[in-house]
Chain A
Amino acid sequence: GQQVMQIPQYQHVQEGEDFTTYCNSSTTLSNIQWYKQRPGGHPVFLIQLVKSGEVKKQKRLTFQFGEAKKNSSLHITATQTTDVGTYFCAGRGANQGGKLIFGQGTELSVKP
């Protein structure tokens, strides 16, 4: 079945450093979404990418969707302590309808 792999599992950075998490799917995706979960909280939607090669930015966050629509990345520039949490990618396989499969997540900690 469809699998979504995400690396790294953990990332510890100093405040001000950059951070990147990578997501790879075993199958071609129709779209991919990114979510953030704060400790003790629930996942909160960040963005959706649909088009091959798409790049979207939200302030210090940059999201990319690969040309083959099988991989994606999230890059945070100059991390802040408010960026702490777990970042998940979630993909919908082509011809899989609404089934949204989450990656394992990357837990980001930021040292002030």
Chain B
Amino acid sequence: DAGVIQSPRHEVTEMGQEVTLRCKPISGHNSLFWYRQTMMRGLELLIYFNNNVPIDDSGMPEDRFSAKMPNASFSTLKIQPSEPRDSAVYFCASSLGHATGELFFGEGSRLTVL
């Protein structure tokens, strides 16, 4: 079975540009999480969805970040405009079950903003 699929794997962009990261969760999973990983701050939860509905977005840094889940098989994380401090690895994870399931992580999207 395919795992969580993220794209792009790597993105290099210039400050001020829009960045869109994509995620396809494991089929049948009903919860989806977006995490950001940096050396300084570790793994930070940005937002998570349950049954396509955003449940907690308190980790989203600021209005430049937005996330959507239009259907059960697709989610996006958008940064507009991007800044150098947004450089990080962004992980998408999905789980079966809202409050007890293990998370299956994608390979991550490494973002570099120049």
Give the interface of A toward B (CB within 8 A).
Answer: 1, 30-31, 33, 35, 41-45, 48, 50, 88, 90, 92, 97-105
Q: B13 to nearest A CB, angstroms?
A: 21
Specify which chain B residues have a CB less than 8 angstroms from the CB of A100 in the assembled complex.
Answer: 33, 45, 48, 103
Query: Is B48 touching A45 in the complex (CB atoms < 8 A)?
Result: no
Minimum CB–CB distance for B110 against chain A, Å = 10
In the bound assembly, the distance between CA atoms of A62 and B30 in angstroms comes to 30
- Residue B45 contacts which of A45, A97, A99, A103 (CB distance < 8 angstroms)? A99
**Would you call A43 and B102 a contact (CB within 8 A)?**
no
Q: Are A42's CB and B42's CB within 8 A?
A: no
Cβ of B67 to closest chain A Cβ, rounded Å? 15
Q: Is the CB of B42 within 8 A of A99?
A: no
Interface of B is mostly: strand
Beta-carbon contact of A31 and B106 below 8 Å: no
A102 x B42 contact (CB < 8 A) = yes
* Contact string against A for B residues 42-74, beta-carbon threshold 8 Å, 1 for contact and 0 otherwise: 111100101000011010000000000000000
CA A41 to CA B107, docked complex, whole Å: 7
The answer to whether the Cβ of B2 comes within 8 Å of any Cβ in the partner chain is no
Identify the 10 closest CB pairs spanning chains A and B, nearest first: A102-B43, A45-B102, A42-B105, A98-B98, A104-B42, A98-B99, A43-B105, A99-B56, A42-B108, A97-B99
